[in-house]
Structures are given as structure tokens and as C-alpha cells.
């Protein structure tokens, strides 16, 4: 039995980075959940861009603060603010609680008057999967799509059927397949792992906005990213996937 509190503390200690001095952070709420708002303090900005960021952590660990450095890296290319959502974590809140929170946050941004063409959604690993699911659910509700999405090492196949789950076992410097199996067990809690809203690799992605997908070449999640790009291409979604040395991302 894993100590959940220790897992969360260790994950935070491993990945949290200091924020640059020109970044202002504040707490807020979005979709009924706590959130971290980040702004880059610079003159001459109009502040109309909005980035909704969904953190990684296997649906079990992680927080907006842990991956704030990734959020800021994207925010540097925008003119506005980022809001990173503190969605509910498993096992206290199993599937689809996190997805419900992300959809509620996206809807609130739209209801508040955010221009969809100035709205982006991004996430790493579990958060990247939640970003895809949020767009899928928004599409089904007839909500406008964001302008684009950025997906770092998306954990989009909770069945762990990708070939890299075997070929990169022992190569991935952070996780093992057993780690991912444990995280996903906490999240799905007996639900169907292959359901599209749990594993969007098996979903119809038609109508989603352009996707930028990035993954490290040593990651267990390599094939999740590559197959997601192929799925997006088959469904006529504009996408791009880049591979490189393993980088600082969270599952």
C-alpha cells in the first residue's frame, strides 16, 4: 500500500520550480475549484489571451504550483493570463470528477466573455488527457472550441497498450509501467479504462482545434503521443508531434 501523502509530497519536491521574478501569481476560483492565476508583468500588454492549464500527476498527485513553470513557459508566448486549475484528485474523487471540473472551468471562461479565438488549453500528461477530454465534451455540448491546444506527454491510453510501455521500461528516468498502473487504478476505480472519456486515444477527435503534441523520446508515454497525433490526423485535426530528449514533464 502506497502512502498517498508521501507520494504527493515527493512529486511536488521533485518537480516544483521557482517562478521568474516578473511573474505575478494569485489564487482564484474557476468552475467551482481553486486555481492559480499567473501573469507576466510587462508594459504594453493588452491582456486578452487566456490560457487554461491542466496539471499532470496521474490524476492522483500534482497541483497548479508544481507545474507552474510549464504554464509560465507557454504564457511567455501569449499576451494575457494563465489560469491553472486545481481539479479534484483520485482516489478521493475518481473518474470522471477531474473531467467534470475541467469542463466546468472551460465553460466559466466562455460564460465570462472570453473570446474562444484568444483562449488556449494546455496540459501535461494526465492534464493533457484532460485537455483533450474537455474539448471533446465541449464539442458534444455545442460549445466553441479554443483556438488551439498544447499537449505535453499526453497520458491518453489508460489501458497501457502502447508499445513504449514495454520498450521504454527501464529507460524512462521517472516512471515505470507499475507506477502508471497504480495511478490509473486510483483514477478509474473500476470504470472502463478504454472508454473514450478516460482514454481519448480511442475517441473521435473530429472538430477539435489545432494540436501541438510534444513528448520525450525516452518516455513510457511516447506511443500515447504518437498514436494521438495519428488519430488526430485521421480525424482531420491539424496537429504536430515533436520528439526529443526526455524533458521536464509530469505524468
* Mean pLDDT computed over 168-183: 96
Check whether 173 has a pLDDT greater than 60: yes
Query: Measured between alpha carbons, how far is residue 205 from residues 95, 106, 121, 148 in Å?
Result: 20, 18, 15, 13
Contact assessment for residue 231 and residue 157, using Cβ atoms and an 8 Å cutoff: no
Q: Is 187 helix (H, G, I), strand (E, B) or coil?
A: helix
| CA-closest candidate to residue 117, choices 141, 148, 90 | 148
* Mean pLDDT computed over 29-43: 94
How many residues in the chain?
251
Which residues are identified as catalytic?
125, 219, 247
Phi, psi of 155 (to 5 degrees): -95, 75
* Mean pLDDT computed over 3-18: 94
- Confidence grade of residue 45 (pLDDT, cut at 50, 70, 90): low
For residue 112, give the C-alpha cell.
Answer: 465570462
Residue range 86-111, pLDDT digits in tens: 999 999 999 999 999 999 999 999 99
Instruction: Give the pTM.
Output: 0.94
Question: Domains plus CATH for the chain?
Answer: 4-244 (3.40.50.1820)
Three-state SS letters, 40-88: ECCCCCCCCEEEEEECCCCCCCCCCCCCHHHHHHHHCCCCEEEEEECCC
Phi, psi of 136 (to 5 degrees): -60, -45
Q: Which helix (H) or strand (E) holds 122?
A: strand 119-124
How many other CB atoms are found less than 10 A from the CB of residue 114?
A: 19
Amino acid at each position: 500500500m502506497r502512502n498517498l501523502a508521501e507520494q504527493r509530497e515527493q512529486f511536488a519536491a521533485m518537480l516544483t520550480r521557482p517562478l521568474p521574478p516578473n511573474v505575478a501569481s494569485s489564487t482564484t476560483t474557476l468552475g467551482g475549484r481553486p486555481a492559480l492565476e499567473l501573469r507576466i508583468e510587462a508594459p504594453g500588454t493588452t491582456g486578452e489571451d487566456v490560457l487554461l492549464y491542466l496539471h499532470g500527476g496521474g490524476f492522483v498527485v500534482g497541483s497548479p504550483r508544481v507545474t507552474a513553470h510549464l504554464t509560465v513557459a507557454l504564457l511567455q508566448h501569449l499576451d494575457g493570463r494563465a489560469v491553472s486549475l486545481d481539479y479534484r484528485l483520485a482516489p478521493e474523487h475518481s473518474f470522471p470528477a477531474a473531467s467534470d471540473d475541467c469542463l466546468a472551468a472551460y465553460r466559466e471562461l466562455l460564460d465570462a466573455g472570453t473570446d474562444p479565438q484568444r483562449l488556449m488549453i494546455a496540459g501535461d500528461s494526465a492534464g493533457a488527457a484532460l485537455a483533450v477530454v474537455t474539448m471533446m465534451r465541449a464539442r458534444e455540448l455545442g460549445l466553441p472550441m479554443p483556438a488551439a491546444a498544447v499537449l505535453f506527454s499526453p497520458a491518453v491510453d489508460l489501458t497501457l497498450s502502447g508499445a513504449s510501455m514495454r520498450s521504454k521500461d527501464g529507460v524512462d528516468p521517472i516512471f515505470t509501467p507499475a507506477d502508471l498502473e497504480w495511478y490509473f487504478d486510483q483514477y478509474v476505480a473500476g470504470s472502463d479504462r478504454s472508454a473514450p472519456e478516460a482514454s481519448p486515444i480511442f475517441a473521435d477527435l473530429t472538430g477539435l482545434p489545432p494540436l501541438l503534441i510534444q513528448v520525450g523520446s525516452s518516455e513510457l508515454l511516447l506511443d500515447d503521443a504518437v498514436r494521438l497525433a495519428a488519430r488526430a490526423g485521421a480525424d482531420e485535426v491539424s496537429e504536430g508531434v515533436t520528439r526529443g530528449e526526455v524533458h521536464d514533464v509530469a505524468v
